A and B are shown apart, each in its own frame.
Chain A
Amino acid sequence: MIPFSYSRATDANGAIEQVAGNHTKYLGGGTNLVDLMRENIERPTALVDVTGLSNEITETPDGGLIIGAAVRNTALASHPIVRARYPVLCRAILAGASAQIRNMATVGGNILQRTRCSYFYDAAGSNCNKRTLGEGCDAIGGFARYHAILGASPSCIATHPSDMCVALAALDAVVLVDGIHGERRLALNDLHRLPGDRPDVDTVLEPDELITAVELPQFSLASRSTYRKVRDRSSYAFALVSVAAILNVKDGLIADARIGLGGVAHKPWRARKAEAILRGGPATIAQFEAAAGAELADAQPLQDNVFKVELARRTIVAVLEDLRDTQ
Chain B
Amino acid sequence: MNIIEDAKQAVQGLVQGAMAKAVALAPDSWMPGGEPDPLIRHQHGHVGKPLSRIDGPRKVTGSATFSAEFPVDGMVYAAVVFATIAKGRLVEIDTRSAEASPGVISVMTHRNAPKLNPPPVFMSSSKAAGGDNLPIMQDDRIHWNGQPIAVVLAESQEFADHAASLICATYEADVTLTNFAVAIAKGTEPSLFMGQPLHNEIGDAEKALKEAPVAVDATYRTPRHNHNAIELHAVTVAWTGDTLRIHDASQLVAHTAWSVAQMFGMDEKQVVVTSPFVGGGFGGKCLWQHQVLAAAAAKIVGRPVRLVLSREGVYRVVGGRTLTEQRVALGADKHGKFKALIHTGVIAKTPSNILPEPFIMPARSAYASETMLLDVQAVELDMLANTFMRAPGEAVGTFALESAIDELADALGIDPIELRLRNEPEKEPTSGLPFSSRHVVEAWKMGAERFGWDQRSVKPGLVRDGEWLVGLGCATATYPYYRMPGGAARITLTRLGQATVDIAAHEMGMGTATVQTQVVAERLGLSLEAITFNYGDSTLPGVVLAGGSQQTASIGASVIAAHRALVKELIKIAGNDSPLAGLKPDEVASRDAGLCKADDPSRFETYASILERAHRDEIRVEASPPDPLETMHWSMHSHGAMFCEVRVNAVTGEPRVSRFLGSFDCGRILNSKTAASQFRGGIIMGLGLALMEETQFDERYGRIMNPSLSEYHVPVHMDVPDIDVIWTDIPDPHTPMGAHGVGEIGITGTAAAVANAIYNATGKRMRDLPITLDKLL
Direct contact of A and B (CB under 8 A): yes
Q: Is the CB of B716 within 8 A of A230?
A: no
* A286 at the B interface (CB under 8 A): no
Q: Is the CB of A232 within 8 A of B701?
A: no
When distances are taken between beta carbons in the complex, the residues of chain B under 8 Å from A38 are 161
When distances are taken between beta carbons in the complex, the residues of chain B under 8 Å from A231 are 654
CB-CB nearest in chain A for B83: A125
Partner of B692, one of A124, A125, A142, A233: A233
A128–B773 CA distance with the chains assembled, in angstroms: 28
A189 to chain B, nearest CB (A): 26
Q: Is the CB of B713 within 8 A of A230?
A: no
Q: A124-B84, A125-B703, A315-B651 are in contact. Are A233 and B773 (CB under 8 A)?
A: no
B773 to chain A, nearest CB (A): 7
A126–B713 CA distance with the chains assembled, in angstroms: 21
When distances are taken between beta carbons in the complex, the residues of chain B under 8 Å from A3 are 102, 162
Number of A residues contacting the other chain (C-beta, 8 Å)?
33
* A143 at the B interface (CB under 8 A): yes
Q: Is the CB of B653 within 8 A of A125?
A: no
Interface bits B618-632 vs A (CB < 8 Å: 1, else 0): 000000000000000
Partner of B651, one of A2, A138, A314: A314
* A240 at the B interface (CB under 8 A): yes
CB-CB nearest in chain A for B310: A38
Q: Is the CB of A233 within 8 A of B84?
A: no
A126–B706 CA distance with the chains assembled, in angstroms: 12
* A154 at the B interface (CB under 8 A): no
Q: Is the CB of A122 within 8 A of B161?
A: no
What are some 26 contacts across the A-B interface (CB < 8 A)?
Answer: A1-B158, A1-B161, A38-B161, A118-B705, A118-B706, A118-B711, A119-B705, A122-B703, A125-B82, A125-B145, A143-B705, A143-B706, A231-B654, A232-B772, A232-B773, A233-B691, A233-B713, A233-B719, A234-B719, A235-B717, A307-B774, A307-B777, A311-B653, A314-B652, A318-B651, A318-B652
Q: Told that A1-B158, A125-B701 touch, could you supply 12 new A-B pairs with CB distance under 8 A?
A: A2-B162, A116-B711, A122-B703, A125-B82, A125-B703, A230-B773, A234-B718, A234-B719, A236-B718, A307-B777, A310-B777, A315-B651
* B321 at the A interface (CB under 8 A): no
* A141 at the B interface (CB under 8 A): yes
Q: Is the CB of B716 within 8 A of A311?
A: no
* A180 at the B interface (CB under 8 A): no
Interface bits A1-39 vs B (CB < 8 Å: 1, else 0): 111000000000000000000000000000000000010
Interface bits A115-149 vs B (CB < 8 Å: 1, else 0): 01011011011100000000000100111000000
* B710 at the A interface (CB under 8 A): yes
A101 to chain B, nearest CB (A): 11
Q: A118-B706, A142-B705, A311-B773 are in contact. Are A1 and B162 (CB under 8 A)?
A: yes
Interface bits B295-339 vs A (CB < 8 Å: 1, else 0): 000000000000000000000000000000000000000000000
When distances are taken between beta carbons in the complex, the residues of chain A under 8 Å from B158 are 1
Interface residues of B (CB under 8 A from A): 81-82, 84, 102, 145, 158, 161-162, 165, 467, 651-654, 656, 691-692, 696, 698, 700-701, 703, 705-706, 708, 710-711, 713, 715-719, 772-774, 777
A309 to chain B, nearest CB (A): 10
Main secondary structure of the interface of A (DSSP, over half): loop
Partner of A142, one of B84, B652, B698, B718: B698
* A237 at the B interface (CB under 8 A): yes
B144 to chain A, nearest CB (A): 12
Partner of A230, one of B652, B705, B711: B652
A318 to chain B, nearest CB (A): 5
When distances are taken between beta carbons in the complex, the residues of chain A under 8 Å from B651 are 314-315, 318
When distances are taken between beta carbons in the complex, the residues of chain B under 8 Å from A307 are 773-774, 777
B87 to chain A, nearest CB (A): 14
Q: Is the CB of B161 within 8 A of A118?
A: no
* A284 at the B interface (CB under 8 A): no
Give the 7 A-B residue pairs with the shortest CB-CB distance, closest first.
A307-B774, A234-B718, A235-B718, A125-B84, A318-B651, A230-B652, A40-B165
A230–B696 CA distance with the chains assembled, in angstroms: 20
A315–B773 CA distance with the chains assembled, in angstroms: 13
When distances are taken between beta carbons in the complex, the residues of chain B under 8 Å from A126 are 701, 703, 705
When distances are taken between beta carbons in the complex, the residues of chain B under 8 Å from A119 are 705
A38–B158 CA distance with the chains assembled, in angstroms: 9
A271–B237 CA distance with the chains assembled, in angstroms: 58
Q: Is the CB of A124 within 8 A of B162?
A: no
When distances are taken between beta carbons in the complex, the residues of chain A under 8 Å from B773 are 230, 232, 240, 307, 311
Q: Is the CB of A233 within 8 A of B715?
A: yes
Q: Is the CB of B777 within 8 A of A236?
A: no
When distances are taken between beta carbons in the complex, the residues of chain B under 8 Å from A116 are 710-711
A327–B777 CA distance with the chains assembled, in angstroms: 28
CB-CB nearest in chain A for B102: A3
* Residue picked from A118, A125, A234, A236, most chain B C-beta under 10 Å: A125
Q: Is the CB of B713 within 8 A of A311?
A: no
A41 to chain B, nearest CB (A): 11
Partner of A315, one of B82, B652, B701: B652
A118–B158 CA distance with the chains assembled, in angstroms: 24
A314–B656 CA distance with the chains assembled, in angstroms: 18
